[in-house]
Amino acid sequence: MARTNNKAGATRKLFVTEYHKYRDHLLRLDAENRRLRFGMIAGDEFILEYAKRLADMKSIVYGHIIGGEVRGAAELRPLGRHVHGEAEAAFSVEKEFQDAGIGTQLLGRVVRAARNRSISRVYMNCLAENRKMQAIAKKFDAVLQFDQGDVVGKVAPASAHSFSLWREAVEDEMGFVMAMLDLQRRILPAA
Ligand SMILES: CC(C)(COP(=O)(O)OP(=O)(O)OC[C@H]1O[C@@H](n2cnc3c(N)ncnc32)[C@H](O)[C@@H]1OP(=O)(O)O)[C@@H](O)C(=O)NCCC(=O)NCCS
């Protein structure tokens, strides 16, 4: 399949008010990619319910946005009540946009976000057949363990450093500006 130029888009954190874009991205996944993402068959109803609960899950959601639409996304969800400790991560990239480095970029952001929050371990559950996700996890020195037909990838982020904190803060500021521009683009044609 042709590689999409992922430089055409930008990866940034999504605001809660943009979660509908994440929901629409999940709804655009085909049946096979939904199965790989959720580890089971996931119909529209399931995704709509999932999206409704997102704001309560205390997740950090990154989106890879191209032309105002979320085409790839990553969720970092704390395990337990606190943002420190351990967390799990899940990824999705729409089929036409796969194999262009977006998944790798998203995992990089997730690992850094975990690092900056003193999260000691990030778990990624994927089906054993999901070689692509496993290949990406290995780029971040993940330990892969087989567990009842699934593979659990474990990444231990390094300790936070002033540079990693600074990078995230700068990107958040840029992300805010981009979100405002996206909003303006949405509102202006309607005015
Ligand atoms: C897994 C997923 C997020 C990857 O996103 P992506 O943008 O295509 O990933 P990237 O382009 O960054 O990297 C893909 C890597 O896998 C490698 N790869 C592709 N097919 C492979 C295969 N069959 N076996 C091993 N490695 C493979 C590619 O070569 C590439 O590595 P490289 O950059 O070193 O060449 C995407 O395929 C997806 O959304 N899948 C469905 C949902 C899912 O599986 N989620 C993960 C479980 S939570």
- CB 134 near ligand 1, within 6 Å: no
Tens place of pLDDT per residue across the chain (191 aa): 434 555 579 999 999 999 999 999 999 999 999 999 999 999 999 999 999 998 888 899 999 999 999 999 999 998 877 667 899 999 999 999 999 999 999 999 999 999 999 898 999 999 999 999 999 999 998 888 887 778 888 888 888 888 889 899 999 998 888 888 888 887 776 55
Question: What is the rounded distance in angstroms from the CA atom of residue 71 to the CA atom of residue 79?
Answer: 26
- CB 37 near ligand 1, within 6 Å: yes
CATH number at residue 46: 3.40.630.30
Question: What is the rounded distance in angstroms from the CA atom of residue 9 to the CA atom of residue 14?
Answer: 14
Tell me whether residue 161 is in a domain: yes
Assign 189 to helix, strand or coil. Answer: helix
Q: Is the whole model's pTM more than 0.85, yes or no?
A: yes
Tell me whether residue 100 is in a domain: yes
- Quote the number of domains for the chain: 1
Pocket test for ligand 1, best of 3, 7, 136 (most atoms within 8 A of CB): 136
Contacts of 138 (CB under 8 A, 6+ apart): 144
Tell me whether residue 132 is in a domain: yes
Tell me whether residue 1 is in a domain: no
Tell me whether residue 92 is in a domain: yes
Boundaries of domain holding 96: 6-190
